[in-house]
Structure 1
Amino acid sequence: MSMKKSWLDKGLVLNDLKRYWWAMALYCIAMIFVAVLPISSLTIKESLSLKEINNCLFAGPIYVIIIGGAVGISILVFSFMNRKASSEFIYSLPLTKKTIFISKYIAGLIMILIPLIISYSILIILMGVNGLYTIVNIMYVIKVIFLFILISALAYTISIAIGSFTSSSIATGVFFFVFMYLPSALKRIVEVTLSLWIYGYTGHSLYENDLYFGIMERLNPISSNKVLGLRNLDVEYYLNSGLLINFVLCIVGYLIISYLLFNRRKSEAVGNMIAFKWFSPILKYGFTLCVMFTSLIFLENRYGESGFSYKIGVYLITGAIAYCIVTCFIEKSISVIFKKKQLKGFGIYFLIVFIGFYGIWINLFGVQEFNVNTNEVEFISMFLNVEGQVGDINIQIEDKNLMKEALKFKDYLLENRKKYIKSSGYMPRIHYKIFSDGEFKESRAYYFNEKLLDHESLKNIYLSKENKNHIYGGIESGQDVNYLMLEKGYMNRYGDRDAISKKKILDRDTINQLTKAIKKDVDGFRFEDLMNTDVIGSIILFADIDSKVVDDGEIITEKSENVQRNITITNRFENTINTLKELELYDEILLSTDEVEKIVVYTRDREHREITVTEPSIMEKLIKEGFRNEYNIIYERYGDHQHGFDIYLNNGRVIPHYELTEEGMTDEIKELLMR
């Protein structure tokens, strides 16, 4: 039979398009639901931002449908490879393998493009109707659409390449998942293991978010979680950089691999789990590796406090089950797994993997750190960040008893990491730097949750002379202060809001009285005085301070001139507040409702309502709540689900972006938000 030597057979393409029209229809409907409908709910208004539009354009379900649809279509179009009758029919046609492959590939590509073009055309029209092009340029949207077309084409081509290894539609889907997951898992294993072997510690533990089941998180430009060097990229950079070219190059590369595998497949491969014998060990051990590593992460994040015997039992059992399942599929027999050769190979593999997982095991189930002799330690530089509440610590500990306390707490953190590592959102961090004989010896960082804030050792560190000294900058008297500044309002940590007003104090008697009052308050602080406090304003001391620094491995003391020490005045600074009142300066740090024209509260719900408040008692509660939330700021509180407000002063100035959170909110404010 003579073979057609053309690259493309139109009849084969049209036949697939007619045969699988229902797949295109389902794909199109799904895309309309996940991509078009969310955009249709957006209307132009003052509070609408590009971020909200991006959240709709790059929503997680879009990636799921686009990638899942591409994989599904690839399985449908190339399903003839998995059925003997279909395979014999296709290969009996007067077409070369090259023509069959290219025709099938283009048919599937068209089946992907048609639903995407239809759904995104509707999206472009709806965005114009809703007036969204006043916020986002239409070329920007076209680039986004082009990006998703490339992603779908990439997933489609990868799926074909993976499907060429096997003769099972189910196996193609499973192997696609394994292929997307395995690189992240292996990368994480190598990083943690090398860190342990080279530095003696890993610095942090593993979390479920460190690994991604699929490629959505890797390719999403608005995601903060990246594993392929795409961290912290904004959308514009993502769309205009060479990354789009990389997609095209990857598609071409996988297409070449797919064709080579397709061309080398033999007809007798139909019906087998794998099409090539040399792929058998890769599949067997790769799949087992994925399952074993997944079990480790699952144990760490769901059963962190379970015993070691339980963990190792689950680890061994899941690995063995995975190995047996994949062996049965490959060999098409259950009895084969009990053969001596299989058991021996499994045992050797398990031993190698267990040794290779040494870093992961040590990291997950307890790291043995170097013992530190307190008598040999010159001082400990400790940084502790809890994002508000008791405030941050950044002190140098030289007292031997307190050093013992600090090291004791470090050991406690290590030994009980399973009790604190499970914190949602942003976690507090404590970082130790240990110096001995004038040299830097050791550095360790630990993350923990706020449940440990009531631990006795941590309380002692907070209430230590060193930490209290740090709060007021080591300034013993007003004579050490060059001048001070009174600031009204509370500035946030991002620096995008200045103080409402500032007053510079140069009078020496005033400086002496306020410095003395601050020192008296801080020295008398109890632990509860550092928590859940109402913020009034700030006093900034400017002084010349001696500090220890490490220069080229040596500890030197240097004098820093006019160092700024910002002290947040809360309702617990009783002596300071009384002194300010006596000096008639209290109004310089307290924001009175007499200075406020109105407060505009914006709710970040579906309606994005704005509520104007002029009642003094409610305004006072809002100001107090907003200042306290800024002082006690927790990273996870910043999100679209939170509420906020802007303060409008009588002088025409607007102080923006104060946050309101559900936790601790007064009944009056809750009532206000429900109006």
Structure 2
Amino acid sequence: MPSKISSFNRGLFTQSFRSVGWIGLVYSFLLLFALPLQLLMKYTGNPEFKPEKIKTLFELFDGLQLVFMFTVPVLLAVFLFRYIQTKAAADYFHSLPVRREALYHQNIIVGIAILVVPVVITAGIIGLVKGMLNVTDLYTAKDIMVWAGYTIIFNLVVFFGTVAFGMFTGISILQAIFLYVLFLLPGGFVMLLLSNLKFYWYGFPIDYYLNKSAEKLIPFLHATELMTKKNLTISPWIYVILIIIFYAIGYIAYKKRHIEAATQSISFKWVKPIFVYGVTTCALLVGGVYFGSMQGTFGWMVFGYVLGALIGYIVAQVILHKTWRIAKYWKGYVISLAIFFAIGAFVHIDAFGYESKVPALNEVESVYFEEGTYLLTEDPTSEQYTEYGNEYVPPYYYTSQEAVEAIHRLHEQLAKNPVSMTSKDIQGDDGRTAAIAYKLKNGKTLVREYELNFKAYHPLYKKIAETKEFKENFNPFLRSGDMSDVTNVQITSDGQISKQASIRNPEDIKALAEILKTSMKNETFEEMYSERGPWAYIDFNTGQGKNKQHVTWEKSYDEVSDWLKKKGLYNKVRVLPEDIEKIVVLKNPHQHEIDFYADEEFPSLVESEKTIEVKNNDQKEEILETVSWASNGAYLVGIYYKEDPSTPEIQEFTEETVPDFIKEKLLK
């Protein structure tokens, strides 16, 4: 009698449902508890109680729904295909008169049903309970559909991913681990690669690339967007395509997988070297970044590469062979290390000319110049702008010839004089970041970010700072337009005590705005980059309570000081000598850095170090005008206010800013 090979087996289908049906029940209860029950608990009862509204349904249950997305489908896939990971079960199931593709598809259908049905039921119940809530516009039918759609999509991506990756191992625990590792791998590997490149190429803008691309490659981070946004920044169709790809990989691998692969760490022979050297590469990059960042020398970074690669290679071989007896495979480690160092040497000599590349002036359309690249990657649709009312400020690109030429000259000098990321010249108070991004006439963009010694480049910075366009960008207030919607100006003193005053007269508000602009335009380079703290902070607020502009009243703004004196507000909004009991100054031992506990440590330093106590009002004023927030100043300054004389406010003097009378008395 000829044997019959079936494309469907009802008994196996039923058995699959019985073996994993409990996962569907648990998932259903979790969803019902996380959504409908939470809605009833939070939004029913006392109608006068008005809890905060939710932005999306994913926000309920503190985002634990996202945890369900990345755990339930994994467990389901592992249990559904558990039979291919044990020898006895694999022999039994594959000896049945059922085609392999039929077995695969039956389990896939069971998995889809268990993941989709609880979501659909929960969505229906969410719709039903809406009428019972005391907040009528909490969510809409569209919100429910969006929640259900994204939940199903992410569930299926994780499920099909676990199934696909599970075909390449014969151990269930590795199936789950592979899923999480491979979901993190694209973004994680890019992050490691970029983090290593910053040690090789001076000017490499690591933060720019991390914020622009690396994080977008990690599905876990995409899912977290659902808690604050109604839609993802990445198209859901990308995930639909991923589902199809994972399905195809799983299907093809299942058909070609040998039954004997059960209990083996890696199921396919050709995957084994990829696994070993992939783990070795990632561990090598981690070791290089860790020791390079912690120790700050090239030698330690090389040590990190050697140690990281060794650990990664050993771990991979132990997992692959399931034994510690792997010494005979030492040649693979040596060869891989040689290849890694050859690649590293090629990158280090800058064969691509990355460090020296500066576009010609006639190729430049405009140029961005700031202390970081964060504005280049800032998302205007993020929560801080859409929910909290903060005004999005797009990155500013200089277009005037004098500004572009001045920035270009600075870039040329930086490219000619590369320094190590760990050089002491770019650390401490003199260290500064310069981010430069060109928009070229051919439509391309060139971005660089440099750590540099600010003092060494003062002349070039001064040329940039003296341009009209730079001052307008340095002080965005100079570009502010109509201020007619401003109804209130709040001025708050800088310091441990709070002194405030409000201006409501429209004419005074307009006059103050113009005076501020005049002071900003008159600032010198030295004043713009002074570390002196401001006298006060000035907020221009609209009638709706929104802060339109926030500026500082710098100690160099003489025009503002004169105007406030004229209006009788000067003494009301800045710290005066009369507000201070005394000021104690001492030489900063070992260049102590100001930190959170400085006010607690200062009294003990007063006991052990030579000090000068200042009570004369004229001398207090001189100190207030020159004291700064420098983090490692040569002199520590303790300001004791009359309001609270027990707790000093700690500021500092540099050698350049300390008043002569203090230096003379302390050096006697």
Normalising by structure 1, what TM-score? 0.57
1:289 partner letter: T
What does the per-residue CA deviation read over 1:517-569, in whole Å, with 9 as the maximum and x for residues that have no partner?
A: 8788879959768535423468xxxxxxxxxxxxxxxxxxxxxxxxxxx9956
Q: How much has 1:79 moved relative to structure 2? A: 0.7
2:269 aligned partner: 277
Q: Report if aligned partners of 2:471, 2:520 keep a CA contact under 8 Å in 1.
A: no
Are 1:152 and 2:152 an aligned pair? no
1:338 partner letter: A
Q: Which consecutive residues of structure 2, in runs of 5 or more, have no partner in the other structure?
A: 359-366, 376-395, 439-445, 473-480, 491-502, 541-548, 574-642, 645-668
Mapping for residues 303-382 of structure 1, pairs under 5 Å: 304-305=294-295, 307-335=297-325, 337-339=326-328, 342-356=329-343
Q: Calculate percent identity across the aligned residue pairs.
A: 17
Cα distance in 1 for residues equivalent to 2:175 and 2:101: 21
Q: How much has 1:261 moved relative to structure 2? A: 1.6
1:235 partner letter: K
SS at match of 1:275: coil
Q: How much has 1:115 moved relative to structure 2? A: 4.0
Q: How much has 1:169 moved relative to structure 2? A: 0.6
1:256 aligned partner: 248
Are 1:215 and 2:219 an aligned pair? yes
Mapping for residues 511-530 of structure 1, pairs under 5 Å: none
1:183 aligned partner: 186
Q: 1:25 to 1:313 in 2, by over 3 A?
A: farther
Cα distance in 1 for residues equivalent to 2:410 and 2:52: 52
2:537 partner letter: V
Q: 1:574 to 1:347 in 2, by over 3 A?
A: closer
Cα distance in 2 for residues equivalent to 1:246 and 1:520: 53
Q: Report if aligned partners of 1:382, 1:397 keep a CA contact under 8 Å in 2.
A: no
Mapping for residues 127-526 of structure 1, pairs under 5 Å: 128-130=131-133, 134-187=137-190, 201-204=203-206, 210=214, 215-222=219-226, 235-236=230-231, 243-297=235-289, 304-305=294-295, 307-335=297-325, 337-339=326-328, 342-356=329-343, 383-385=369-371, 414-416=421-423, 430-431=434-435, 444-446=448-450, 467=465, 489=488, 503=507
Cα distance in 1 for residues equivalent to 2:433 and 2:538: 27
Q: How much has 1:139 moved relative to structure 2? A: 1.8
Cα distance in 2 for residues equivalent to 1:360 and 1:42: 58
Q: 1:203 to 1:138 in 2, by over 3 A?
A: same
Q: 1:143 to 1:484 in 2, by over 3 A?
A: closer
SS at match of 1:535: strand
Q: How much has 1:83 moved relative to structure 2? A: 0.9
Q: Report if aligned partners of 2:520, 2:557 keep a CA contact under 8 Å in 1.
A: no
Cα distance in 1 for residues equivalent to 2:8 and 2:57: 39
Q: Report if aligned partners of 1:161, 1:257 keep a CA contact under 8 Å in 2.
A: yes
Q: Report if aligned partners of 2:171, 2:263 keep a CA contact under 8 Å in 1.
A: yes
1:27 aligned partner: 27
What does the per-residue CA deviation read over 1:181-222, in whole Å, with 9 as the maximum and x for residues that have no partner?
A: 33224545777899999x974223599984589621145545
Q: 1:24 to 1:569 in 2, by over 3 A?
A: closer
2:94 aligned partner: 91
2:559 aligned partner: 576
Q: Report if aligned partners of 1:514, 1:580 keep a CA contact under 8 Å in 2.
A: no
Mapping for residues 581-620 of structure 1, pairs under 5 Å: none
Q: How much has 1:130 moved relative to structure 2? A: 3.3
Q: 1:317 to 1:537 in 2, by over 3 A?
A: closer
Cα distance in 1 for residues equivalent to 2:171 and 2:534: 60
Q: Report if aligned partners of 1:518, 1:575 keep a CA contact under 8 Å in 2.
A: no
Q: 1:179 to 1:428 in 2, by over 3 A?
A: same
Q: How much has 1:356 moved relative to structure 2? A: 4.1
Cα distance in 2 for residues equivalent to 1:169 and 1:215: 22
Q: How much has 1:95 moved relative to structure 2? A: 1.9
Q: Which consecutive residues of structure 1, in runs of 5 or more, have no partner in the other structure?
A: 225-233, 373-380, 422-426, 435-441, 475-482, 492-498, 539-565, 591-665, 668-675
Cα distance in 1 for residues equivalent to 2:139 and 2:171: 45
Q: Report if aligned partners of 2:162, 2:179 keep a CA contact under 8 Å in 1.
A: yes
Q: How much has 1:15 moved relative to structure 2? A: 1.6
1:608 aligned partner: none
Q: How much has 1:80 moved relative to structure 2? A: 0.7
Cα distance in 1 for residues equivalent to 2:164 and 2:517: 72
Q: Report if aligned partners of 1:432, 1:443 keep a CA contact under 8 Å in 2.
A: yes
SS at match of 2:204: coil
Q: Report if aligned partners of 1:79, 1:169 keep a CA contact under 8 Å in 2.
A: yes
Q: How much has 1:171 moved relative to structure 2? A: 1.8
Cα distance in 2 for residues equivalent to 1:72 and 1:87: 19
CA-atom RMSD in angstroms: 5.8
SS at match of 1:93: coil
Q: How much has 1:570 moved relative to structure 2? A: 1.9
Q: How much has 1:143 moved relative to structure 2? A: 2.1
2:337 partner letter: F
SS at match of 1:106: helix
Q: How much has 1:504 moved relative to structure 2? A: 9.9
1:659 aligned partner: none
Give the stretch that moved more between structures: 123-132 or 264-273: 123-132
What does the per-residue CA deviation read over 1:126-154, in whole Å, with 9 as the maximum and x for residues that have no partner?
A: 55533566143222221221221121112
Cα distance in 2 for residues equivalent to 1:271 and 1:187: 32
SS at match of 2:435: strand
Normalising by structure 2, what TM-score? 0.57
1:159 partner letter: T
What does the per-residue CA deviation read over 1:309-353, in whole Å, with 9 as the maximum and x for residues that have no partner?
A: 444334322322222232233334443x322xx322332222323
Q: How much has 1:157 moved relative to structure 2? A: 1.2
1:598 aligned partner: none
Q: How much has 1:264 moved relative to structure 2? A: 1.9
SS at match of 1:273: coil
Cα distance in 2 for residues equivalent to 1:412 and 1:194: 14
Q: Report if aligned partners of 1:382, 1:393 keep a CA contact under 8 Å in 2.
A: yes
Q: 1:384 to 1:96 in 2, by over 3 A?
A: closer
1:110 aligned partner: 113
What does the per-residue CA deviation read over 1:89-127, in whole Å, with 9 as the maximum and x for residues that have no partner?
A: 222333222222222222222332344345555544555
Cα distance in 2 for residues equivalent to 1:39 and 1:275: 47
Cα distance in 2 for residues equivalent to 1:244 and 1:515: 47
Q: 1:489 to 1:167 in 2, by over 3 A?
A: same
1:76 aligned partner: 79
Cα distance in 1 for residues equivalent to 2:141 and 2:56: 12
SS at match of 1:134: coil
Are 1:534 and 2:521 an aligned pair? no
Q: How much has 1:369 moved relative to structure 2? A: 5.3
What does the per-residue CA deviation read over 1:404-426, in whole Å, with 9 as the maximum and x for residues that have no partner?
A: 9x979x978944599979xxxxx
1:144 partner letter: W
Q: Report if aligned partners of 2:123, 2:144 keep a CA contact under 8 Å in 1.
A: no
1:430 partner letter: A
Give the stretch that moved more between structures: 150-159 or 576-585: 576-585
Q: 1:358 to 1:193 in 2, by over 3 A?
A: farther
Q: 1:206 to 1:292 in 2, by over 3 A?
A: farther
